[in-house]
Structure 1
Amino acid sequence: MNEILASAMLILVLLTLLVGGVWIGLALSGVAWLGLQLFTDRPAGEVMTLAIWGSASSWTLTALPLFIWMGEILVRTSLPRDTLRGVAPWLDLLPGRLLHVNVVGATLFAALSSSSAATSTSIGKRTLPELAKRGYPDAAAANSLAGAGTLGLLIPPSLIMVVYALAADVPVDQLFAAGLLPGLLVAGLTMAYLVIWSVLNADLMPRFDARSSLADKLASLLDLFPVLLLIAIVLGSLYTGWARPAEAAAMGVVGALIVSAALGSLTWVNFRDALMSATRLYCMLALLVAGAAFLAMALAEVGVPQLLVQWVSGLHLHSFVLLLVLMLFYLALGSVLDGVSAVLLTMGLVMPVVRAAGIDPVWFGVFLILVVEMAQITPPAGFNLFMLQALTGRPMSWVVRTTGPMLFLLVLVAGLLYAFPAIVTWLPQQMMAART
């Protein structure tokens, strides 16, 4: 009974702080301190010290600022434009043609930017005006970006994957491997939808795009070479076991600086802006990670996770029902919080339930990130919806109606991951087997 009272009180206090505009990291720390002071005999200062030091000294956390910095460097180069220019000549034979540039370009750039926001804006602000100028329907162009723009969360290396790995205590390199095939599945289904849509709406598509010659296609490989080389360095070193996440991220930063210099973008202003932007974002995330770690330890001391596990176990829910409830919960939470905050806010309560249900935490991490992707294009507050509204200048009602099919595709992928879990688990298993 005391645990139920404590849980209700702490949730109420947390909601009050969040609604009041208190920084999420500070709100989490404040609720943790209050819970320890009121409901346990454990000194709050001791738990805070252990939690913050434990989270801050994690070797996995070292990779986070480096991946952020790598993305910030590359966003300030011509690499997004060069990637799109390199991809376009190879799409001539696909129905929909240049509509697929958003998908392929976002998939490649997501492997370097580590961020959904950076992927969406970097690709969208270059492709949408060009597609409109060539006569492609605005709805189809926005639709292609809506699905592909979320791939920055799922295609490794991803910031939210590093954060989840820290909060759930799972190997980040396994999570990176687990996310690759689902990310490619999302990209493939998005392209399949665009092919079908283009065939059914052939009268709306432009008819006079010039086809690229073989010489044009071969020349475009020069534009793709930097992005493919960086992907090979970062992901290849991780998957082969040659480097750990922090070391791969460091090589990515060095590679990004070299590419930036080669493209003529490595000015002092760009270097300083990229470093300061990465520092600000990392400081925000570090505060969130520390607050979430403190809250998780405080809740464990109060006994809230144990109570929740007992309650859920008593319901005898099938794993499908449990995952469906969690999906709806995170979609609702994603309407008011960004994905990273939603994950850190809930891991202390959700992970004990997930582990008790026998769900693989690596598989659940990919599933959860996919649900966060859904939240990005779920009304009324999906971030990518506002991004598309700003890029297209259309009303929000038009954006929501246009992006509906992409939300359905993400739900379909979630169902496929549940029905065929090997889509997530096969590559990590192969990676671990190759290392032994």
Structure 2
Amino acid sequence: MEDLSIIILFLFVLFLLLGSGVWVGLALMGVAWVGMELFTTRPVGDTMLTVIWTASSSWTLTALPLFIWMGEILYRTRLSEDMFRGLAPWMARLPGGLVHTNIVGCTVFAAVSGSSAATLSTVGKMSIPELRKRDYPERMVIGTLAGAATLGLMIPPSLTLIVYGVTINESISKLFFAGIVPGIVLAAMFMAFVAISSRVSRGWAPKQDPVMSLGQKLANSRFLIPVLLLISVVIGSMYLGYATATEAAAFGVVGALILAISQGSLNWTTFTESLMGATRTSAMIALILAGAAFLSLSMGFTGLPRGLADLIASWDLSRFQLLMALLVFYIILGMFLDGISSVVLTMAVVEPMVREAGIDLIWFGIFVVVVVEMAQITPPIGFNLFVLQGMTGHGMGFIARSAFPMFLIMVAMVFVLIAFPDLATWLPDNIRQRPGG
């Protein structure tokens, strides 16, 4: 009963602050401050400064702003146009046609950008006009883009996986590799849905592009070479053990700058815009992480995380039942918070439960990412929905309905992960890794 009172108190303060328009990071600090004042005699100010400094000075965390900057640079290049020109000839003859460029394009760009929003904006700004011009069904164009863009949260370099790894002190490189196979499987499930829909839908009658010869297809594929080289440098350097996640991020920034220079799209304006965009996003995430670290300490003094873990253990839930409870919990939470906030806000309580149940934390990281991906396309706070609303001019209801099949596919992906856990654990268990990765 005491734990329930503490939970209600914390939630009341949190929603009061968030409802007042306070930033998420500062709201977390405010809740932690209340907890420290009520449940400990330690000097709150000194404790807060120490915790914030410790949380902010993690060397692992330096990968975060570097990967964000890489994505910001690439967003300002002609990468989306080049990807469409390179992919379109190969996708056109598949069942579903050029709609697959949404999915494959997002998958490719996700491998050089850890952000779902950046993936959506970069691929969407080119594919939406091209697919509309060819009369592809609007619901499918928008739905696949909304769903596939969430792959930016799973396929490395993933900002959410970096935050998760820092929060629970797990290897970022191992988490990155854990996300590769599930990310590809999820993309394949999206593509299968498009292929089936194109066969059963009566309204599917897009205009066909002229048939290209194999030589022409190969010639167009040269536009994919820069991004594939960049992926090879970032992912390959980690896989071969030559670089940690942070070092790979630095290589990625250099590669992105070289790509932008070679395309003639880098000037002083785009350089400063990319740098300031990365700074704003990094500062926002760092503030959330600092607030979450302080809140975790405050909750530790209340005994709440351990108490809840013991309570869940007393219910004698199976692993599957616990995962189903967490699935529902994160879906509901994702309706009101973005993915990164959901992760850092809950890990202090959820991690002890997961450890107690004997669930692999690397695998659980991928489980969490799949579930918080759903938050990107669920109203009322689904961020991808807002981005698409700005890009297409459609109402929120239309976009949410278009994205709903992708939501169901992600739910199915959760069960695939549970049934085949090696999808997430085999690769990280069989890679070379440099210390500090």
Letter in 2 for 1:408: L
Tell me whether 1:300 sits opposite 2:300 in the alignment: yes
**Distance across 2 between alignment mates of 1:3 and 1:45:** 25
Structure 1 match to 2:112: 112
Query: Which of 237-246 and 195-204 deviates more?
Result: 195-204
Map residues 136-215 of structure 1 onto 2, 5 A cutoff: 136-201=136-201, 204-206=204-206, 208-215=208-215
**Distance across 2 between alignment mates of 1:89 and 1:57:** 47
Structure 2, gaps ≥5 residues long = none
Q: 1:168 to 1:434 in 2, by over 3 A?
A: closer
TM-score, structure 2 as length reference: 0.95
Q: 1:132 to 1:322 in 2, by over 3 A?
A: same
Letter in 2 for 1:136: Y
Q: 1:45 to 1:133 in 2, by over 3 A?
A: same
Query: Which of 316-325 and 290-299 deviates more?
Result: 316-325
Tell me whether 1:395 sits opposite 2:395 in the alignment: yes
**Distance across 2 between alignment mates of 1:143 and 1:29:** 37
Shift of 1:164: 0.8
**Distance across 1 between alignment mates of 2:295 and 2:137:** 48
- Tell whether the 8 Å contact from 1:47 to 1:297 is kept in structure 2 after alignment: no
Shift of 1:2: 5.1
- Tell whether the 8 Å contact from 1:75 to 1:113 is kept in structure 2 after alignment: no
Post-superposition Cα deviations, 1:230-253, rounded to whole Å, max 9, x if no partner, equal: 000001111121100110000100
Q: 1:166 to 1:317 in 2, by over 3 A?
A: same
Work out the number of aligned pairs and report it.
435
Structure 2 match to 1:55: 55
TM-score, structure 1 as length reference: 0.96
CA RMSD of aligned residues (A): 1.8
Q: 1:417 to 1:19 in 2, by over 3 A?
A: same
- Tell whether the 8 Å contact from 1:379 to 1:400 is kept in structure 2 after alignment: yes
Structure 2 match to 1:227: 227
Letter in 1 for 2:390: A
**Distance across 1 between alignment mates of 2:354 and 2:243:** 30
SS of the equivalent of 2:31 reads helix
Query: Which of 51-60 and 304-313 deviates more?
Result: 51-60
Shift of 1:286: 0.9
Structure 1, gaps ≥5 residues long = none
Map residues 56-75 of structure 1 onto 2, 5 A cutoff: 56-75=56-75
**Distance across 1 between alignment mates of 2:136 and 2:171:** 43
Letter in 2 for 1:41: T
- Tell whether the 8 Å contact from 2:78 to 2:263 is kept in structure 1 after alignment: yes
Structure 2 match to 1:76: 76
Post-superposition Cα deviations, 1:74-132, rounded to whole Å, max 9, x if no partner, equal: 10000121112111111233111211110111100111121000111111121111111
Shift of 1:361: 1.2
Shift of 1:147: 1.8
**Distance across 1 between alignment mates of 2:45 and 2:395:** 50
Query: Which of 138-147 and 266-275 deviates more?
Result: 138-147
Structure 1 match to 2:381: 381
Q: 1:303 to 1:76 in 2, by over 3 A?
A: same
Structure 2 match to 1:27: 27
Structure 2 match to 1:16: 16
Shift of 1:433: 8.7
Structure 2 match to 1:350: 350
- Tell whether the 8 Å contact from 1:47 to 1:298 is kept in structure 2 after alignment: no
Structure 2 match to 1:285: 285
**Distance across 2 between alignment mates of 1:12 and 1:93:** 55
Query: Which of 400-409 and 299-308 deviates more?
Result: 400-409
- Tell whether the 8 Å contact from 1:96 to 1:205 is kept in structure 2 after alignment: no
Shift of 1:62: 0.7
**Distance across 2 between alignment mates of 1:91 and 1:150:** 21
- Tell whether the 8 Å contact from 2:137 to 2:203 is kept in structure 1 after alignment: no
Shift of 1:428: 0.6
Post-superposition Cα deviations, 1:277-317, rounded to whole Å, max 9, x if no partner, equal: 11111111111111111111121122111111111111111
**Distance across 2 between alignment mates of 1:232 and 1:211:** 31
**Distance across 1 between alignment mates of 2:46 and 2:361:** 29
- Tell whether the 8 Å contact from 2:239 to 2:433 is kept in structure 1 after alignment: no
**Distance across 2 between alignment mates of 1:207 and 1:296:** 55
Shift of 1:189: 0.8
- Tell whether the 8 Å contact from 2:137 to 2:204 is kept in structure 1 after alignment: yes
Query: Which of 279-288 and 209-218 deviates more?
Result: 209-218
Structure 2 match to 1:429: 429
Shift of 1:171: 0.8
Q: 1:134 to 1:4 in 2, by over 3 A?
A: closer
Runs of 4+ in 1 over 6 A off after TM superposition: none
Shift of 1:390: 3.0
**Distance across 2 between alignment mates of 1:200 and 1:5:** 53
Shift of 1:165: 0.8
Structure 1 match to 2:124: 124
SS of the equivalent of 1:380 reads coil
Shift of 1:403: 2.1
Query: Which of 334-343 and 48-57 deviates more?
Result: 48-57
Shift of 1:8: 3.0
**Distance across 2 between alignment mates of 1:347 and 1:243:** 28
Letter in 2 for 1:264: G
Query: Which of 153-162 and 200-209 deviates more?
Result: 200-209
Query: Which of 94-103 and 204-213 deviates more?
Result: 204-213
Q: 1:5 to 1:394 in 2, by over 3 A?
A: closer
Letter in 1 for 2:15: L
**Distance across 2 between alignment mates of 1:37 and 1:195:** 58
Structure 2 match to 1:361: 361
Shift of 1:329: 1.5
- Tell whether the 8 Å contact from 1:147 to 1:407 is kept in structure 2 after alignment: yes
**Distance across 2 between alignment mates of 1:82 and 1:41:** 60
Letter in 2 for 1:151: L
- Tell whether the 8 Å contact from 2:135 to 2:207 is kept in structure 1 after alignment: no
